[in-house]
Amino acid sequence: MENLYTEGCIRTYTGKYINISNPKPTDIDILDIAHSLSRMPRFAGHTEHFISVAEHSVMCFKQANEVDKFQALMHDASEAYLVDVPSPVKAMIPNYYELESRLMCVISEALGFNWPMNDSIKKIDKIMLEIEWEEYVIGRKRPVYTSFDVSEAAFLNAFRYCFKM
């Protein structure tokens, strides 16, 4: 039987092993990112209806100008490997931000977008957080993407769009 555990590594959707403390650009695959983010809940799952990190990323992508679209789409890509940890919890985990930053640098190198995140993307992310909270948590609105597969496809379509610009 194949060993499914390699110390310090996680195994991804495409079957790769990624050492989280020492990731390499060759470890990164957009299919892993899209698949994982489409199945990862926003707000630690505290919503009436499931909303994925992929959907959030696509909404940020749609709000960004043409130059910033790719960075907006990818701004939470590290969560495909580290999961979506709520900010108050992240702040309590020693070295979390260092780990996240290192991983985002590797992801940006592998996929070709600028990192660290610029101020316009930070602003869009914050605005979308407030909108999502109002609509999906307080308002209990249904998300646009109604399944994991639809969310994943929307993310991959946005990714492909970034290379047609």
CATH of the domain at 88: 1.10.3210.10
Answer whether residue 11 shows pLDDT above 90.
yes
pLDDT, position 1: 40
Quote the domain boundaries for residue 21.
9-162
In a domain, 1, yes or no: no
Query: Is 4 inside any structural domain?
Result: no
Distance (Å, whole) CA 91 – CA 109: 26
21 part of a folded domain = yes
| Domain membership flag for residue 143 | yes
pLDDT digits (tens, 9 = 90+) for 101-156: 999 999 999 999 999 999 999 999 999 999 999 988 888 877 777 789 999 999 99
Using pLDDT thresholds of 50, 70 and 90, give the confidence band for residue 165: low
Task: Say what the pLDDT of residue 48 is.
Answer: 85
Domain annotation covers residue 3 = no
User: Looking at residue 84, what is its pLDDT?
Assistant: 87
Domain count, the chain: 1
Give the DSSP H/E element, type plus range, for residue 139: none
> For the residues of 18-59, what is the DSSP string, one character each?
EETTS--GGG--HHHHHHHHHTSBGGGG-SSS--BHHHHHHH
Quick check: is 30 in a domain? yes
Q: Is residue 146 part of a domain?
A: yes
The letter for the amino acid at 116 is: P
Does residue 2 fall inside a structural domain? Answer: no
User: What residue has token string 């190198």?
Assistant: 109
Tokens of 53: 């990190």
Q: Which of 119, 116, 118 is nearest to 105 (CA)?
A: 116
The sign of the torsion formed by the CA atoms of 29, 32, 37, 41 equals negative
Q: Is the pLDDT of residue 2 over 70?
A: no
pLDDT bucket at 79, cuts 50 / 70 / 90: very high
d(CA 72, CA 65): 9
CA neighbor of 137 nearest in space, from 43, 40, 37: 43
| pLDDT tens-digit map of 24-70 | 999 999 999 999 999 999 998 888 888 999 999 999 999 999 999 99
